Amino acid sequence: MKIDTTVSKHIGRDIVISLFIYALPIVTVYLYFLFKGETPWNSDLHPQAAAPALFHFIEPAFKNLRSWGFIVIALVVGIFEFALGLYDNKWTKTERAIDIVCFVAPKVLLVPITGYFSLKLLPLLLPGLANYFSWVPFWAGVFIIAVADDLTQYWYHRLHHQVHFLWRFHRTHHSAPYMGMAMASRQNFIYTVFFSQIYLTATLIYLGLGYAALFVTVLKTLITLSAHSSIAWDKPFYKYKILHPIAWVLERFISTPATHHAHHADTFDDGVGNYKGNFGNMFFLWDVIFKTGIITRKFPKSYGIKFYKQEEWYAQFLWPFFKSKKEGSELAADGPEVGDAEIPNSLATA
Amino acid sequence: MNLNDIEILSKKIMVGFIIYIVPLIIISGGLLLIKILIHK
């Protein structure tokens, strides 16, 4: 496993910290029941019934967003971006093919895979444990899922940038020389299908945290979609002085277009780009804790990767099953593992 | 696909599995522990 020594040390330290962060919601639940003297597992009350009324009210909207709403939002905003000329002449035939295949294929192929995992494999591997933790209060379920899902994705994402042999599985997400709604789903299929947090959340849903998961995953999708979008909703927070305190909290807590666009920049040289940092998806907080983030409140001038060779769509979508014919490409049969291995990983402080 | 690709893919799946299983053990183990520690 080829990896820079300093980065390796930081990864080791941050993994240990992460173990405590994963345990934090559990410790909170323990202390809560200890002080209240309650044993909810002896009660028939379902945590759904104990959820605040607001959540019951917004539940149908969240369910619709999850089933079809996000697809429509991504399509509408994507068309809007295209109509405004966001992609200019950068949306070549190859880019179009990658964006469209990456948008459509996972929606068709991933559902049966995750469905099989949830409905067939989990009952087989964990028989009799369906809803075993349904006694967990709604607020605690939200806390557990938010940390578990997003911290796991942070690590999955970060390792694909910092561990050389993993980079090529994630490269497709960074290869486009533009930013927009299409980027949210633009991934190599192997990267998507082995997303650890999908299976972790599915298992926690099976164990009884499904109602909380609905709200967390929908909010997470909203935040990650908007962080990739060209709609810079965060700009007013930087422009007006009265909003600066809110901006300060917001940009450290969740991923904003500014911090995530910086992650997609093609250079560090402009003082804005941080393509070897800013790994957070829903929460930017992980980047702050692990010092992998840079906050500038500015947007990069150019996006993508410097060593991009406009590889064929099939190589970008299905590497290593299909290789690129482009000479010197990272995705070619004899290509380098990482094109910019000499550039140290960013460890700047957020 | 050659042997090197299969090795890379296997290592990738292994890394993904570790990232999946460690938090799952902490969370489910922790919740089980709560039931044991606050036993009435």
Domain boundaries, chain A: 5-229
B24 with A34: Cβ contact below 8 A? no
* Residue spans of alpha helices (H) in B1-40: 3-37
Average pLDDT for runs of 10 along chain A of length 350: 79 98 97 90 73 91 92 89 80 93 94 96 96 94 98 98 96 94 94 97 97 97 94 95 97 97 94 94 98 96 92 97 95 87 46
Tokens of A59: 């539940």
pLDDT, residue A37, reads 87
B30 with A23: Cβ contact below 8 A? yes
Of A19, A169, A203, the CB nearest to B24: A203
A196 with B31: Cβ contact below 8 A? no
pTM greater than 0.90 (yes/no): yes
Q: Which residue in A has a C-alpha nearest to residue B26's C-alpha?
A: A23
Size of interface A-B (CB pairs under 8 A): 80
pLDDT, residue A341, reads 56
Chain B residue numbers with beta carbons less than 8 Å from the beta carbon of A30 are 30, 33-34, 37-38
Chain B residue numbers with beta carbons less than 8 Å from the beta carbon of A22 are 22-23, 26-27
Chain B residue numbers with beta carbons less than 8 Å from the beta carbon of A151 are 23
How far away is chain A from the Cα of B37, in angstroms, using its nearest Cα? 9
Of A39, A151, A194, the CB nearest to B13: A194
Longest dimension (CA), chain A: 67
Tell me how far apart the alpha carbons of residues A303 and B2 are, in angstroms, rounded to a whole number.
Answer: 32
Tell me how far apart the alpha carbons of residues A122 and A126 are, in angstroms, rounded to a whole number.
Answer: 6
* Mutation site for A-interface testing, chosen from B5, B6, B12, B13 by largest number of A Cβ within 10 Å: B12
Of A19, A156, A163, the CB nearest to B26: A19
**A339 within 8 A of A305, measured Cβ to Cβ:** yes
pLDDT, residue B8, reads 96
Q: Which residue in B has a C-alpha nearest to residue A147's C-alpha?
A: B23
pLDDT, residue A348, reads 39
Tokens of B36: 């044991």
Residue A330 backbone dihedrals phi, psi, to 5 degrees: -65, -25
Distance, CA of A321 to chain centre: 24
Q: What's the distance, Cα to Cα, between the start and end of chain B in Å?
A: 57
The residues spanned by each domain of chain B are 1-40
* Mutation site for A-interface testing, chosen from B5, B7, B20 by largest number of A Cβ within 10 Å: B20
Tell me how far apart the alpha carbons of residues B9 and A125 are, in angstroms, rounded to a whole number.
Answer: 24
Tell me how far apart the alpha carbons of residues A187 and A174 are, in angstroms, rounded to a whole number.
Answer: 9
pLDDT, residue A347, reads 40
Residues in chain A whose beta carbon is closer than 8 A to a beta carbon of chain B? Answer: 1, 19, 22-23, 25-27, 29-30, 33-34, 39, 41-42, 133, 136, 144, 148, 151-152, 155-156, 159, 163, 165-166, 169, 190, 194-197, 199-200, 203-204, 207, 320-321, 333
A165 with B12: Cβ contact below 8 A? yes
